[in-house]
Structures are given as C-alpha cells and as structure tokens.
A and B are shown apart, each in its own frame.
Chain A
Amino acid sequence: MSTLHLTVEPATPPARFTDLLAAEWIKLRSLRSIRWFLLVATLTVVGLNANGARVSRAEFGSWTAQQQSYYAEFGALHDAFTRPCASLVLLMTAALGAIAILSEQTTGLLRTSFAAVPARRELLAAKLAVVTAVATGFGLLVASVSFWLDEAMLAGTYGGVSIADPGALRLLVASALLAPVGALVGLALGAVIRHSVTTMVALFALLFMVPMFVHDNTHFGAVVAHAQPFNAWARLGLVGEITGQPYPSSIGGAWAVYLVWAAVAALLVMIAVPSRDQ
C-alpha cells in the first residue's frame, strides 16, 4: 500500500432538520402502496359521504314536513361527514401511520436509516412531522371536498348548509384533524408493537371496538367514552347544547382529547424507539 495520503476532508455541511424532513418525505412518497392507499381512501370517503347526501336528496320529498325541517337543521350538516366515514378515516390513517414505521422496522430499513442518521430522536421527529403533515393534508382534502360536494347537492330546497353556518366549520376542521390523530396513534402502536398484524388488530380494537363498548351513563364510563377520539369528533359535530345526559362532554374537552392522543402518541414513539438496539 502506498503512503497514507488522505485528501483534505471536504467541509461537512451542517446537520439540518429540513434535510431529514425532505428525506422522510422521499421515503413516504416513493412507496407505491402509500400512494394507492391515499387515492383509494380519498375516493372511498368522498364517495360514501356523497352517497349519503344523494340518498337524503332522493328521499327528501317523501318525508313529512317535520322530518324535512329537522333534516334542514341537523341532518344536512351531518351528511357532510357521516359517522361511518369518521370511523373509516380514523382507522385508515391509523393504518397509514403504522405502515410508515412498520415498513422500516419489519424490513430492517430502520437500521440503515439509523446508521446514516445516528441522531435518532431528530430522525423520528422528522418522521412524525411528515406523517402528521401528510395525514392532515389528506384529512383537509376529504373533509372539504365532502363538505362542498354534499352541500352543493343539498343546496336549495334540501336544506344544504354553508360553511358560515353554525358548527359547519368546526365539523370540517374536526373531521380533517381526525386524520393526523389517527396517523399518530398508528405510528405509536406500530413503533411499540413492531409486528404488522398485531398492530392492525390493536388499532382496530383501540379505535373502533372500545368506543362501541363504553357507556357514558356512569361518571367513569363517561370519562372513558369522552376520551375516545371518535366520540370527541362526534361531540365537535354537534350543534347546540346537549340535554338529557348525566355527564355531557364539552367542545373544549373534545379538542383536548385530540391533542392529548396526538401528544401521547408522539411521546411514545420518541421513548420506545431510540433506546432499542437495532
């Protein structure tokens, strides 16, 4: 071997967080399955919501005057984003978030990523940010397209509402933000469980089954029920005061539920992953 002749070390550029954001964006975008997933999810949610409005519009003429006025006051707004669609958005974005981390953990790619970027918390923060942003974009898209499409179909005699009407903007934002909450919960469970099938079952149980089985007739039951993201969304979609419930939830409480789930999920990711041997 010839004499050691190391050329001048090239100036190392500073480690920028934006580079990690860009890298995570490339990662997410370059998976064909995620692009298809988002396309199918968008069409499904918008289609289901539009179908609800279409059915209401078709049946509107056969209703009594009382039913028609009730629909105009509450129903038309609800058709802009139906309960099944909210459940679906929550579950689908949870799956999306889970895929974002599981696609690295189950393939060993996370090892490659951490070998390149030893600043693990920084890398995970970038991943959380990119997944949250993508999910929020998806949520805003399906919520606003659903709203304007459905209310356009219901406009005029069918009681369609405008975004300026009471509760309309809140329903739209609450529906849109359900997506990042779901994605973060999915990411956290994927990060902790590290197994694809188990993660999906756990997500389904946590986000879909639990809200179905809790009853809000006792104080404890009400606290648990109100703490579910789906129930928080349902509360945010309600216009007016709640009557006839012993422990009603509040609007502020519902927003807090969104925030706490998102924060706990992000924290779990930051705690569970960095300390592990890869």
Chain B
Amino acid sequence: MAAPGSVVPVIEVNRLTKRYGRVTAVNDLSFTVRSGHVTGFLGPNGAGKSTTLRMILGLHAPTSGSATVAGRDCRGLRRALRQVGALLDAGDVHGGRTARDQLRFLARSNAIPAGRVDEVLGEVGLLTAADRRIGGFSLGMRQRLGIAGALLGDPPVLIFDEPLNGLDPEGVLFVRNLFRRLAAEGRTVFVSSHLMTEMEHTADRLIVVGRGELLADETVAEFAARGSQQTVQVRTTDPTELVTALTAGGARVAQAPDGLLTVTGLDATAIARTALDHRLLIHELVPRTGSLEQAFMELTGSSVEYAAGARA
C-alpha cells in the first residue's frame, strides 16, 4: 500500500473496448477523471456510458483495454466501498428489505461500523424512512438510498450513473450541492447523464461520448464555447425584404412560419443597420449565445450521423 496522500485518486480509462457479439458498446475509449472536480459523463442514450462505468467498477470485463481507480483494477480489490462508492441503478435493491437493512449488510460486508448506516441515511434525508421497505419508495427515494450506499465507505472516488433521474427540484439541488461538497473535499466525483441541462450546473468538467467513442474531454466553459456560434432572432413587418437584404449582406437566414427570422453570420448591430438602410421596421431583435445544450446536440448529432453513414 502506498503512503497516504501519495496516490492521487483518479479514474483512468485506457483504450477501453467492450463488444457484445458483433455490437461494439465501447470503442477504444481513453480518458482520465481528476480529483477535486465534479466530472460529467455525457452522451445520448446507448452511448456506452453505463457499460464504461461498469467496466471501471470491475462488474463487466473489458474486451480489451483497461480501467483503473487510483491505479488499481477494481476486480483485484477484495472490498471496494472504502476505495470507490457507486450508484449504478437505483433499482438494484430488493424491495422486501428496509432501507436500513440494505445498508447494514453492505456496511458489514466491508467492515464498516454499523453506526455509519444512520449517518449516511441522515445525510441523504432518509432517516425517517429508514425502517420502511424499499418496495414502497419512490424513484427519488431510491436514488437517495443508492447515494447513501455510495457514501457508506467514505471513499475518495464516487461514481454515479444518472443520479438525478426521478429527483424533485429539491432533490436535484441537494444532489448538486452534495457533489460540489464531495469534490471540494478533494474527492473524484464522476457523474453520468444523457441530459446536458443536468450537467450544466453540476459538473466542472465534461467527458462526452457518442456511440462508444470519445467526443470531447474538457471543461464546461470550453465545451460551451463550441456552441458559441451566435444567432440573432429578428421580427420585422416585412420579412421577405429583410431576408433579401441580410442575405446580400452575407448572413444566413432561416424563416419560421410565424415570421421569426433566425440570423447567423451578422451581429445585432449589423442587422439593425441593414434594416435602417432599407427603411424596414424591426420590432424584435434578440441575440442568442450558443448553449451547452446546443453544443451537445451538435456534437452528438454528428456522431450519430457519422456512425449511421459508416454502417451503410
């Protein structure tokens, strides 16, 4: 065992590939998840996120490549909860047990003191429901229970697969704050989602995958800059003439049935000046900066197209 502090708790995925028969779920994927950050793992449904997380946790055997947590293959650990805590699927429980029993046997299997069970139940706000059977829990309560299970061993690395699913707004806020706090404590927090909007206010860094391949590995700000192609929404009393004038000025214009024009290639000032030159009345002029959502859609959309094209 290395001296305390000498091992930086990171997740390292190196040329990871997983094939199920002829289907390639994860293809030559490499990335690193750093400590002290909340890292979002983003991709559309079926992008291979869950498969990757399961390989990191040693639940699935990779076809080739490797995945390590703090330099070690999880499959080689005898007990894992103190090294890496995970919530993969809130449904991975038996509905006949109480929340407390579910955590009691997990704690015991990893030699975690029984008192820790009530601590984590309190932390996720389930203490009052501790002795109720999980079968009667809402999805949000199950998510909280799964998070409690991940926290049991107070691990330096935490992995969550779609943890915000089924949470009410209060729950989402709670989970976000929890993740930030865990990261601020120096832990590695790796959170998957298929919704960009969820990650926008949760993650500092993003790893984006599509069709099992890496699309982006950068900070949220860098990622947002990808979608920063600016558009301006314009309404005018004479759309036809303005479209002609703007197109002549080098802009690309899309016209919606209700007359709303979406202009790319000219900024709001240039558009207003063009309208003035042609003595056209503008009654709406809204500059729109690219959103993360847009960047995400553009990136993953092209990956889907590429894959579909490659297949044909």
Contact = CB atoms under 8 A, between A and B. Distances in A.
Interface of A: 1-2, 4-6, 8-10, 12-16, 19-20, 22-24, 26-27, 30-33, 103-104, 107-109, 111-119, 122-123, 275, 277-278
A13 B1 CA distance: 13
Most chain A Cβ neighbours within 10 Å, of B54, B98, B105, B185: B105
Contacts of B35: 4, 6
Contact of B110 (A19, A24, A107, A122): A19
Contacts of B204: 1
A26 B108 contact: yes
Contact of B4 (A8, A13, A27, A30): A8
B110 A31 contact: no
Given A4-B36, A116-B79, 18 more contacts: A6-B5, A6-B9, A19-B108, A19-B110, A26-B108, A30-B101, A107-B95, A108-B89, A108-B92, A109-B93, A111-B88, A113-B109, A114-B59, A117-B109, A118-B76, A118-B77, A277-B60, A278-B60
Ranked 9 nearest A-B pairs via Cβ = A108-B92, A23-B109, A30-B101, A15-B78, A26-B105, A119-B78, A277-B60, A23-B108, A13-B111
Interface string B71-86: 0001111111110001
A26 B104 contact: yes
A278 B92 CA distance: 11
Contact of B111 (A15, A27, A111, A277): A15
B93 A107 contact: yes
B139 interface: no
B58 A118 contact: yes
B221 to A, nearest CB: 14
B210 interface: no
Contacts of A114: 58-59
Nearest to B88: A111
B4 A9 contact: yes
A15 B106 contact: no
B57 interface: yes
B17 to A, nearest CB: 14
B108 A6 contact: no
B163 to A, nearest CB: 15
B82 A12 contact: yes
Interface string B7-21: 011000000000000
> For this complex, into which size category does the number of interface residues on chain B fall?
35 or more
A8 B6 CA distance: 10
Contacts of B156: 6, 9
A178 to B, nearest CB: 27
Contacts of B105: 23-24, 26-27, 30
Given A15-B78, A116-B80, A117-B109, A104 B154 contact: no
B149 interface: yes
Contact of B149 (A14, A16, A112, A123): A112
B78 A117 contact: yes
A107 B59 contact: no
Contacts of A115: 57-59, 80, 86, 88
Contacts of B92: 107-109, 111-112
B184 interface: yes
A14 B9 CA distance: 21
Contacts of A15: 78-79, 111
Contacts of B104: 26, 30
Nearest to B83: A12
A113 B79 CA distance: 10
Contacts of B282: none
A115 B109 CA distance: 11
B183 interface: yes
Interface string B44-73: 000000000010011111000000000000
Contacts of A27: 105
B37 interface: yes
Given A2-B184, A9-B4, A15-B78, A112 B106 contact: yes
Nearest to B204: A1
Nearest to A107: B94
A277 B81 contact: no
Identify the interface centre among A19, A31, A113: most chain B CB within 10 Å of its CB: A19
A117 B79 contact: yes
Given A26-B108, A117-B78, A111 B89 contact: yes
B301 interface: no
A12 B36 CA distance: 22
24 contacts: A4-B36, A5-B186, A6-B4, A10-B154, A15-B78, A19-B110, A19-B111, A22-B108, A30-B101, A31-B96, A31-B97, A104-B94, A107-B91, A107-B94, A108-B89, A109-B92, A109-B93, A112-B106, A115-B80, A117-B78, A118-B79, A118-B80, A277-B60, A278-B59
